[in-house]
Structure 1
């Protein structure tokens, strides 16, 4: 899965002649099918003067580039009525409010995860009450211009809380004296326990923990102060040690916002 942030800005390389045919300037979503149908190339001010590539004509979406068979697959928007129709719908998803099926406004979409093999939206990332959540596409009822309507968020939230709350009791049951201390040295167990407690103290949910791991090896576009007082410099690769210094959601969100595109 790829977030849109890693797709927009990619070089577009023609396999036929090995040249760069442009760069991805934007994406065009199909709200009915929940798919990425087109990418916009070198977008001008007027959409109808733009060039597009249909997803079916894309060979691959990698970290370095998006590949196409040849420049001939690049079309004029003015000649593609389906693309015009989708552009007029203007379904961007990112920045839209998240509404539950029962009418509760719970947050705002901050990112979309796309399956680069099929073009389908796999999940939407949204922020609610200062926490970052991931909702699978199967739980999305409507992708609207102003609202993302979902179902089952409460159940998912409770499931995440339950999984997190189960971490410490499992560790504690291992560290209780049971007469098997000769086989499992107490010192080793204590080290594992303290590491688990330290991780739990951060209060990150499961998705946020995965997001932290995703940061490793990436770089940011500006200097960011970490929670221990250290500074993550622009262009400096993020190490596992630096990840341990990210203990607040505000820092997590700031790094997410300024992560460099590959």
Structure 2
């Protein structure tokens, strides 16, 4: 498995052409299944529009590169099923709070790990609540819900100090109906709320439309109204908003 940070920035190579055809710019997560669904692709030749590579179209995700059969695997998002909705959903694993089934706030995710073959998120590391350097881990079987605001885990006893540490206790079982109800409650909320991580941050630079129109000036505090306006304009501007959003210093 790979850290998400080790996938970001990988070049994408076409095996038929033997050429580099893009770079992994962002990992798009599908929260109801807990997997990487898409790679957003940066390509200097396709500077207009937003392009994506479905994870299922990647032949390999290696240490040096992502490989695909041909350049046709990378498509404009309007041609990729559910791509626009997932991008606008804006689900982020890193920074998401970790909550126990009993309601205890345990910390926030600082990294996640991906199965190279399937794109499934197999584990997450998180900074313990109230600490800046105490890192713990939980594996996919211990995840009850990838929620809009929190990741809910089954059993605190299954949290480990390293990825290789053996599990020491059996999971507290929760019925499928309870898990499904929780997942449904999380994912049935309006997608706009999933972008709550942006609210209260400020713009590090002017936010401009593709035509150069000023949408919001540098230093503007991001509000829910601004997020909704940007989403209405389109996913490309929404991604730009994500890049420019920084915490208030």
Q: Say yes or no: TM over 0.5.
A: yes
Determine whether 1:136 maps to 2:139: yes
2:105 and 2:146 map into 1 onto residues whose CA distance is 15
Distance in 1 (alpha carbons) for counterparts of 2:43 and 2:138: 30
Paired residues for 1:150-165 under 5 Å: 150-153=153-156, 155-157=157-159
Following TM superposition, by how much is the alpha carbon of 1:80 offset from its aligned partner in structure 2, in angstroms?
Answer: 2.6
| Distance in 2, Cα, partners of 1:42 & 1:152 | 39
Q: Is the 8 A contact 2:4 2:114 kept in 1?
A: yes
Counterpart in 2 of 1:88?
A: 88
Matches within 5 A, 1:151-230: 151-153=154-156, 155-157=157-159, 205-207=161-163
Provide structure 2 residue ranges, at least 5 long, that are not aligned to the other structure: 166-249
Question: In the alignment, is residue 3 of structure 1 matched against residue 3 of structure 2?
Answer: yes
Equivalent residue for 2:35? 35
Q: CA deviation at 1:123?
A: 0.6
Equivalent position of 1:114 in the other structure: 114
CA distance in 1, matches of 2:20, 2:43: 16
**Equivalent position SS for 1:95:** coil
Q: Contact 1:24 / 1:41 at 8 angstroms: preserved in 2?
A: yes
Give 2:63's aligned residue: 63
Question: Which residue does the alignment assign to 2:17?
Answer: 17
* Separation in structure 2 between the aligned mates of residue 43 and residue 132 of structure 1, nearest angstrom: 35
Residues in 2 aligned to 1:131 and 1:142: alpha-carbon distance in whole angstroms? 23
Higher helix share: 1
- TM-score, L = length of structure 2: 0.60
CA RMSD between the two structures: 2.2
Contact 2:99–2:107 (8 Å) recurs in 1: yes
* Deviates most, 112-121 or 135-144: 135-144
TM-score normalized by structure 1? Answer: 0.57
Are the equivalent residues in 2 in contact too, given 1:12–1:68 (CA < 8 A)?
A: yes
1:53-81: CA deviation from partner (whole Å, max 9, x where unpaired): 11111000111100010001111112334
Alpha-carbon distance between aligned partners in 2 of 1:121 and 1:94, rounded to the nearest angstrom = 12
Q: Compute the displacement of 1:144 (Å).
A: 2.5
Counterpart-to-counterpart distance in 2, 1:11 and 1:58: 12
Cα displacement (A) at 1:43? 7.8
Segments of 4+ moved more than 4 angstroms: none
Corresponding residue of 1:224? none
Task: Indicate the SS of the match to 2:83.
Answer: helix
In the alignment, is the contact (CA less than 8 A) between 2:137 and 2:162 conserved in 1? Answer: no
